[in-house]
Amino acid sequence: MNASPKITILLADDHSIMMRGFALMLEDAGFEVLATIADPSLIVESFEKFNPDVLVLDVIFGEGHSGLEAIEAIRSRHPNASLVVLSQSNRYETIQDAFRLGANAYITKDCSIDELIKGIHSALEGKKYCTEKIGSSLAAEFVQRSSDLSAHETTVMRLVAEGLTLEEIGNRLGKSKRDMSREVMHLKRKFGVERTAELVRIAVKRQIID
């Protein structure tokens, strides 16, 4: 009976020692590491060359480079790609950006190999995954940001949740439609969401509106 083919991995990270360590752990766990990439400008090209089952990449590279551009580019060209971020960064904005641009999983480098494997399998299934530690951190940051709303921001969220248009909100608050568009966009960035419907759900959860 033939053995099942190994899941293939492409690793991208400019910390060579750490990358080799994770490569060895993945191979010991039964994965096949096709290649390791240290240059962020080669990630997309290498993904298309090797066609791995899963890309595991950092998002923070030296000299101001980021893996986020690679995530966005690969997701746009390959909608079914399995993309796992493995990074030292646990910044709220970085994690939000990674998921927004198309990452399936986000794991910090202090993870166990079991957590990394869970992230890889979740990505292959098209699911979102982050470790419990990251989930708790995101929740705490979300609560903090939620509590920082000014009275004016609370009013704007309430009016958005009530279904008023930007022009109608501006008329009530004595501001232009353009001003209100900027304010609503600021609120979306503050909560790390893209759609107005998500902002409405936040307003309901915060009991800004019934």
Shared domain for 121 and 177, answered yes or no, is: no
Shared domain for 26 and 126, answered yes or no, is: yes
Shared domain for 131 and 149, answered yes or no, is: no
Q: Looking at residue 50, what is its pLDDT?
A: 97
Shared domain for 15 and 114, answered yes or no, is: yes
If pLDDT is split at 50, 70 and 90, which confidence band does 210 have?
Answer: low
Asked, for residue 36, whether it belongs to a domain, the answer is: yes
CATH number at residue 181: 1.10.10.10
Q: For the chain, what is the domain count?
A: 2
> Is the full-model pTM beyond 0.85?
no
Shared domain for 119 and 52, answered yes or no, is: yes
Q: What is the DSSP string of the chain?
A: -PPPPPPEEEEE-S-HHHHHHHHHHHHHTT-EEEEEE--GGGHHHHHHHH--SEEEE-SB-STT-BSHHHHHHHHHH-TT--EEEEES---HHHHHHHHHHT-SEEEETT--HHHHHHHHHHHHTT--EE-HHHHHHHHHHHHHHHHT--HHHHHHHHHHHTT--HHHHHHHHT--HHHHHHHHHHHHHHHT--SHHHHHHHHHHTTS--
Range of the domain at 162: 144-205
Asked, for residue 127, whether it belongs to a domain, the answer is: yes
Q: Which among 82, 103, 136 is the end of a domain?
A: 136
Residue-wise pLDDT for 150-197, tens only, equals: 778 888 988 998 999 999 999 989 999 999 999 999 888 887 778 888
